[in-house]
Structure 1
Amino acid sequence: MRQMFASRLAILNAHKSLTNADTVRTEAESFFDILEERRRGSDIGYALRTYTAQPYRGATPTSTCALNRMVLESQYLSYIIQEVAAESEEPREVILEEATGILDEMAQNLQLHSIRLLGFVMNKVFQSVFRSIYVNEEGLTRLQQALQEHPVILMPNHRSYMDFLVLSYIMFTYDLSLPVIAAGIRKYPHIFVALMGMKLFGEMFRRAGAFFIRRGIGSDKLYWAVLSEYVRTIVRTGYAPLEFFVEGLRSRTLKSLSPKLGMMQMVLEPFFKGEVFDITLVPISISYDRVLEESLLVRELLGVPKPKETTGGLLKARTVLQEDYGCMHVCFGTPLSVRDLMKERVIHVQYNLIPRDLPVKPNKETQEFVSGLAHTVVRLQEKNVVLSPWNLMAVVLLQNLRGIDLDLLTHRTLWLRNLVSRFGAHLNWPKHVSDSEVMSSSMTLHHSVVHCEKGRVYLVEEVGPGPVSQEEGVFRLAAAVLMCASYRNPAIHVFTRPAMVAVAMTTAVNNRMDDIIRHFNFLVELFSNEFVFVPGQSVQDFEEGCSLLQLAGVIVRSDEEMHVTEEGRETIVFLRAILQPFIESYQVVFRYLCEESSETFREKNFVPNVRRFIMKLLIAGEVQSYECLSSDVQKNVLTALLRMTAVTKTKVEEQNEFTVNTAAVKRTWTFLNGVLTPQISLEARL
């Protein structure tokens, strides 16, 4: 296997020397087009070739049926079944049968012949829709080594339904152990939605390693027990690498989401309990020039229901596969040893005091470790994202919604290219191609978002028959803005910390450092669901933002004060404009809660009512940012206020009900407006 892996990488190295077009370089890694070899070979030959993956050396060969049997016969699940039977006053056999049904619904059935079929199909699909799929060679080498040493958890970001398909495709191509993949489903009475509901494809994905998890399972004790024992058994036995999306959901905004911690806790527990020596986490960053679901994502954000995924609907989507989606980059990050990260911590003590087969509720220190590690993984995903020229163009376009001259767009994009390079971003800017050609090519690829008319570039708005009402006009422009914003968002992490420093400097008094830090910490606390911050590291975040601004020559600072340089004023204005749509979105929701909302409201009514309120303000010209209409940002505001105790949540008749502390919301609103200085510690609050 080692020789075969080495020979495949040797082929990629040979391709590298042929032409500059085959190689994309960032400061840290070299990427190679894995489709190049596929295009010269036979699809059927690729699917049927010899596959010789070398598994984790500590793994015990286990069949799917044996794995499921181990779960059902485990002492842990037996203990929970006994508890549930006692609580529900049902016979133990009835609860065991229910647990068996849950596992049957959930479990994967990984089979090599299904992977071969999927590989054959994906080979054709990927070659049809993508110009290239670039993978970092060093990352593959590191992954190959890690897979043999300890149980491996693959942790990609989640931007498209293509994500898990391309990872399995890469693993199969390079003779790496095929992963089992956590896939979400929504459970309604007798109805499955999402991948599992697509009969033909759902079964194919199951046989390709997908195991299906219901969403919204709440406090279903038995379901949680079956799921956690299933995940722990996969990790403990080394059955296969386990892949899951730490963000939990596919990001509809293409911006990183705050991590969900349930699955993270499950995969780490075998290490906490001493059942495995170590666990290796591999952050994976997947970057798209253009995502297949772009228009669907935007309509979801504006409240248009997501269509039910069916096999027929998927087959009708063949027209989508005739489009050009540019390039994809897959960056396998440096593997993280949980054992190394746990040094000087005593989390094991809690687990050593209780038999391994009994459930353990993680204590505060364990929860903080899991949360910090999950946030760190997302930050590593962000740092390894590869940006395209279009991502930078989208940033500029969103600050010029009435259109911008192509020459000025080019000038501003090139200025921004220099700034993101100073900020340390990975940028795929084509070499030996004129700047005008780069701009033209990007606009052609994204013809659904922008068009150029008489030397001026505009966002593309949907056109329909008949007269357009004011509301419909706002909706169409909002859709265009959110579509463009979805391509700005992959780059937003590059600017977040410097931009927050820029905003804090604007609202602070007399450039005093302590005031700037207070405002910065307030912004971190307020926006910690909007952007990803590692808990407890706001001091480091502030230092990072300041250091980047200093490196770019934007600020000078002392221990007491911070000032903008003359040449840095343009950058400060630009960075404040980056955050302005988010600031205005939060302000308008604060206004709704203070002026329009009843003191108590149901969760299901919140987004529709806020959307109607914002629509009126946009029509009246009282609000400028169309991004305020995004349901994601509206929900993030509510989550932030809950965390800051300006809103409280209770359960009434099986529905979430919220109570607004109007005075607290107004106080937060004034802090955001810069009218008052937030009384927040200079130290990290998160």
Structure 2
Amino acid sequence: MSDPKASQTLTASTETSSPDLNRFGDTMQIHPSSVADQSSQEQSLLEPYARFRQEPINALQELGLHVVGEGWRSYDDFIGQDIFYPGFSENMKGMVMAQPKLQRKIAELASKRVEVEIHEGVLGPKGLEGEEQEHRKRRLDRRREIEGQLSEVAEEWTDKMICKMDSRYFIRSAFYLVTQLLTRAYHQGIHVSSDEVLHLRAVAAEAARKKQSIIFLPCHRSHVDYVSLQLICYRLGLALPTVVAGDNLNFPVVGSFLQHAGAMWIRRSFGDDQLYTTLVQSYMDTLLQNGYNLECFVEGGRSRTGKLLQPKFGILSYMLESVLSGRVEDAMICPVSTQYDKVIEVDSYVSELLGQPKPKEDLRGFLSASNVLSLKLGRVDVRFHEPWSLRGFIDEHQSRLVHKSPSEGMMNEAALKRRLLTTLGYKVLSDINSVSVVMPTALVGTVLLTLRGRGVGKSELVRRVNWLSDRVQAQGGRVAHFADSTTASVIDKALDVLGPKLVGRIGGLAEETYFAEDRFQLSFYRNMTIHLFVSQALVCAAVYTRVKLGSAAESQGRMSYQELYDYVFFLSQLFRTEFIFPTTSLEDNLQTTLRGLERDRVLQIVRNNVVSNEIESIELHPEELASGRENFDFYTFLIWPFVEASWLGAVSLFMLTPPATHPATDTETWVDLQTVQDKAQFLGKTLYHQGDLSYFEAVNKEALKNAFGRSQEEGIFHVSKPAKDAKGAGGPKVRLDTAWMPARDAEGRVKPEGKLWDLCERISQSRREGKNRRDGATVRTRVLGLVDLVGADLFENAGIPGTHSVPEVNRRRKGMGTRAQL
């Protein structure tokens, strides 16, 4: 930092273990520390300002530095195109409205409207030559009138959409205010890697010279994501990016503030509005043609579960189209990972996942977040992947796709764009994962949720956190840098941040013991590590299908390689929308994973002979058995909640079996999809409290939504969406495919047989077996009966005679909505 007080704070926070990172004017410098430099030094780039109550003189000095714009605070010599000057918004609107693509679309829409009015006879019929000339003039005047009206609409929409970077004084004040707020909530500051930010500045300087944009593509776990990136860019002296944001955040006061700080507002859904779609593309073209930086969340919305979501291709497709069409020469892509010790919104995420409606964004809700400012939420770690050329990506993959095979060489332009867009989205997510930092709270949360006992002593917690840190780094991951702090002290900080509502402590024992107080919320932090171990977890889950059957101690979990391959393939298909898998083939990935587990002495591989070295079978390693399967259990505990959620999603589809009174001639009764999903979640809560479901987090609506989405893709059920102009039609309707429809016996009970039953049984093979549960027998009796009970009123609402609702089930619904505490 450039001011003395900030430098002292940084030194105290890092214990001089890292070189100091300073910004003077338009230069960034690394100063050597008292210890050897490391390959990638993490620095607290933003430290809390002095507080007026405790240090009034220092606080006034800091404020004065921002008012007068001393040094880097002036934001005069940033790298990038000129922004924050009077008239910026008007210039931007003029450039957007002048885009040829937008003007052509306005002319096209006006011409189409004139043709409609001609067809309706409004602009006169075709007649004699003199009359025809008069009609042509009327039509020309009418077309120009409509073009003017459409231009006015487009200009009004543009004004509401674009960011308004008109005042440098405003952005300096906003930086001071937001930094004051954010660094009080995240009291350990925002941390970056010195190497990464220095390289980013060098790339930005070259991009600015070529008048090219940097497109920042961060992961999205919190509203703090875009705030932290804006603050970092300001502090590093980079041109602030225009942030693509949903207009749900454009509410009074806050919406205007964000728009003047860099937010652009877009609708959550464009529908079939051709003018609006073209306007968004024209704005993207304008920004990229003029080298303005951009920021867009590749996942779309915020992740409520802690892990990366599947890519959303909406805005990403506009950016790709700008370069692919040739309207923009090139742009630099910079994937960004933002990790938190604790996410401010995580408690509301849990409420949403348990079925409570998402509250509407408004000023009152925004201001209610102010109570977090008195909390100690730890630190924010932001990591930047090395930027890469979007044009280079297009050229490389376009050539590869076109020449991959003769048949694909003839693929049409639309199919090629889809393939490029899909590849782009998953590459960005993979890059984000590759630079993500595992925070101490994630390490502690993961360990607590992957132990068999009720709790764990401090010494054992330290040992397992050390083990997990080693495994993270062995997988190519990164662990947050905490200078020379001991593991015990880092764990203490993490426990303080998580707080007693998430991690309980029991004193007065031989050793202080910790336990997971709120497993559902703690799973958010565990999910921040799971991307590193998905392959190992799937393999161990497959081996568990044999372990749970029991066998001689010397051959526990033994299964042939082909059996392992088949079940891992089944699980990978089951979770294809849950996780971001490696881009290598399943065979290669499985071989690599097995070698790693063999090297770590978790599994033992039996090969058929020395010559071919082919894997014949796999079983638990003797050392793993001797240690009580603790490492093997770690991997299975990671994946079991997701196995449970998939099983629940499959079992709940039995609710779509029509009742015994269903007319034999009626084979296509449709029921409301949203109601089915709500009842599936309600069923899961019941099964959990009755002991037939091991993990309460398995009832979260995102996991169930993914499970239903996979079932739809597999053709297990069909979805019928109402026509857009249909009034009172409600939402989408569903019905089971005939081939997947379970049968009923003579007494009207659902038979445990058929394709849907086989799917449930296949998933159950890797479920964690409960103390009082034997999967098959339980599902055949009590669970299927409960499924029938909960789903009884689905068909009553669909108009099937002879069905009835279940008052007792409905009466208890409210009580089942609360969070389970274990």
TM class by shorter chain equals 0.7 to 0.9
Deviation (angstroms), 1:284: 0.6
Contact 1:35-1:132 within 8 A present in 2 as well: yes
Structure 2 partner of 1:50? 74
Counterpart of 1:330 in structure 2 is 382
Higher relative contact order (CA 8 A, sep 6+): 1
1:630 counterpart = 2:687: no
Specify the code of the residue in structure 1 equivalent to 2:697.
Answer: E
Are 1:144 and 1:176, in contact at CA under 8 Å, matched by a contact in 2? yes
Distance 1:660 1:142 in 2: 54
Q: 1:487 offset after TM fit, Å?
A: 0.9
Larger radius of gyration: 2
Letter in 2 for 1:330: V
Name the counterpart of 2:53: none
Counterpart residue type for residue 438 of structure 2: L
1:403 pairs with 2:403 = no
Paired residues for 1:187-586 under 5 Å: 193=248, 195-197=249-251, 199-238=252-291, 240-346=292-398, 363-399=414-450, 403-407=454-458, 408-428=460-480, 430-447=482-499, 448-454=501-507, 455-460=512-517, 480-507=518-545, 511-533=559-581, 537-539=585-587, 541-555=589-603, 557=605, 558-563=613-618, 564-568=620-624, 570=629, 571-586=631-646
SS at match of 2:250: helix
2:95 aligned to 50, 62, 70, which one?
A: 70
- The structure-2 alpha-carbon separation of the partners of 1:236 and 1:668, relative to structure 1 and needing over 3 Å to count, comes to farther
Task: Give the one of 761, 764, 782 matched to 1:673.
Answer: 764
Partner in structure 2 of residue 144 of structure 1:
201
Helix, strand or coil: the match of 1:155? strand
| Structure 1 residues 328 and 277: alpha-carbon distance in aligned structure 2, compared to 1, 3 A threshold | same
The answer on 1:122 being equivalent to 2:178 is yes
Report the CA distance shift for 1:612/1:214 in structure 2 as closer, same or farther (over 3 A): same
Residues 527 and 205 (structure 1 numbering): CA distance in 2 closer, same or farther, change over 3 Å? same
Moved more, 119-128 or 553-562: 553-562
**Residue identity in the other structure for 1:232:** D
Q: Which amino acid aligns with 1:604?
A: Q
Tell me: CA distance 1:604–1:93, structure 2 relative to 1, closer, same or farther (3 Å).
farther
Structure 1 residue 545: deviation in Å?
3.0
User: What do residues 123-149 of structure 1 show as CA deviations (whole Å, max 9, x unaligned)?
Assistant: 211331221211112221222222232
Q: Shift of the alpha carbon at 1:507?
A: 4.5
SS of 1:652's equivalent in the other structure is coil
Separation in structure 2 between the aligned mates of residue 347 and residue 218 of structure 1, nearest angstrom: 33
Residue 401 of structure 1, CA deviation: 8.4
1:422 and 1:548 in contact (8 A); partners too = no
Residues 347, 365 of structure 1: 8 Å contact kept: no
* Residue in structure 2 matched with residue 474 of structure 1 by the alignment: none
- Tell me, yes or no, if the aligned pair for 1:33 and 1:133 is still in contact at 8 Å: yes
The answer on 1:32 being equivalent to 2:102 is no
Correspondence for 1:98:
153
Output aligned runs, 1:651-666, within 5 Å: 651-654=721-724, 655-661=731-737, 662=740, 665-666=756-757
Aligned to 1:643: 713
* Equivalent-residue separation in structure 1 for 2:355 and 2:604 (angstroms): 45
Q: Structure 2 vs 1, CA of residues 562 and 278 (structure 1 numbering), >3 Å: closer, same or farther? A: farther
**Would you say the 8 A contact 2:48–2:183 is kept in 1?**
no
| 8 A Cα contact 2:717 2:736, kept in partner | yes
SS at match of 1:251: coil
CA–CA separation in structure 2 for the residues paired with 1:261 and 1:581: 28
Amino acid at match of 1:17: S
Alignment of 1:147-158 (within 5 A): 147=204, 148-149=206-207, 150-158=212-220
Shift in alpha-carbon separation, 1:152–1:430, aligned structure 2, 3 A: closer
- SS at the partner of 1:218? coil
Question: Does residue 133 of the first structure (1) align with residue 190 of the second (2)?
Answer: yes
Partner Cα distance (1:542, 1:349) in 2: 26
Distance in 2 separating the partners of 1:403 and 1:554: 24
Identity of aligned residues (%): 23
Q: How far 1:348 moved relative to its partner?
A: 12
The answer to whether the 8 A contact 1:107-1:212 is kept is yes
Give the TM-score taking structure 1 as reference length: 0.83
Provide Cα deviations, 1:639-678, integer angstroms capped at 9, x if missing partner. 2222223233221244322333335544443443349xxx
Q: 1:75 to 1:276 in 2, by over 3 A?
A: closer
C-alpha displacement at 1:174, in angstroms?
Answer: 1.5
AA of the residue aligned to 1:210: A
Cα offset, 1:37, TM superposition:
9.1
Structure 2 spans left out of the alignment, 5+ residues: 1-20, 51-57, 118-145, 403-411, 547-556, 606-612, 659-668, 725-730, 742-754, 767-822
Give the whole-Å Cα distance in 2 for the aligned partners of 1:10 and 1:177. 14
Give the CA deviation at 1:56: 5.7
1: CA distance, partners of 2:401 / 2:465 = 54
Partner of 1:475: none
Query: Is this contact kept in 1: 2:504–2:516, CA < 8 A?
Result: yes
CA offsets per residue over residues 324-379 of structure 1, 9 Å max, x none? 010111111111222333345447999xxxxxxxxxx9522221122112111112
Checking the alignment, whether the CA contact within 8 Å between 1:256 and 1:531 is kept in structure 2 is yes
Q: CA deviation at 1:595?
A: 4.1
> Measured at CA, do residues 158 and 401 of structure 1 come closer, stay the same or move farther in structure 2, by a change above 3 Å?
farther
Distance 2:200 2:757 in 1: 50
**Equivalent in the alignment of 2:30:** 13
1:110 to 160, 165, 186: 165
Structure 1 residues 565-574 or 448-457, which shifts more?
Answer: 565-574
| Residue 611, structure 1, aligned to residue 687, structure 2 | no
The residue type equivalent to 1:449 in the other structure is: L
Distance, in Å, in 1 between the alignment partners of 2:691 and 2:681 is 15
Paired residue type of 2:513: R
Native 8 Å contact 2:574 2:646 kept in 1: no
Q: Structure 2: how far apart are the matches of 1:540 and 1:343?
A: 27
Deviations 1:366-403 (A, max 9, x none): 21122112111112111211112321221232245873
Specify the SS of the correspondent of 1:212: strand
Aligned counterparts of 1:349 and 1:73: Cα–Cα separation in 2: 35
Equivalent position amino acid for 2:79 in 1: Q
Give the Cα separation in 1 of the matches to 2:599 and 2:417: 37
2:163–2:242: 8 Å Cα contact kept in structure 1? yes
Q: How far did 1:534 drift?
A: 5.8
> What number of residue pairs does the alignment pair up?
625
SS at 2:615 equivalent:
coil
Q: Give the secondary-structure state (helix, strand or coil) at the position aligned to 2:533.
A: helix
Letter in 2 for 1:99: A
The 1:8/1:488 distance shift into structure 2, 3 A limit, reads farther
- Stretch deviating more after TM superposition (67-76 or 634-643): 67-76
The alpha carbon displacement at 1:434 in A equals: 4.1
Deviation at 1:175, TM superposition (A): 1.1
Which AA in structure 2 matches 1:527?
F
Aligned partners of 2:160, 2:48: CA distance in 1, in Å?
Answer: 38
Cα deviation 1:246-300 (Å, max 9, x = unaligned): 0101111121000101211211222212233322100111110111112111111
Instruction: After superposition, give the CA deviation of every residue in 1:10-57 in whole Å (9 maximum; x if it has no partner).
Output: 88733x72689xx9x7xx622111124966871441463332113269
Does the 8 Å contact 1:422/1:551 carry over to 2? no
Structure 1's 643 and 37: CA in aligned 2 closer, same or farther, altered over 3 A? same
The answer (yes or no) to whether the contact 1:603–1:658 under 8 Å persists in 2 is yes
Contact 2:441 2:497 in 1 (8 A): no
Work out the CA distance in 2 between the residues paired with 1:540 and 1:214: 43
Q: Residues of 2 paired with 1:167 and 1:75: CA distance?
A: 33
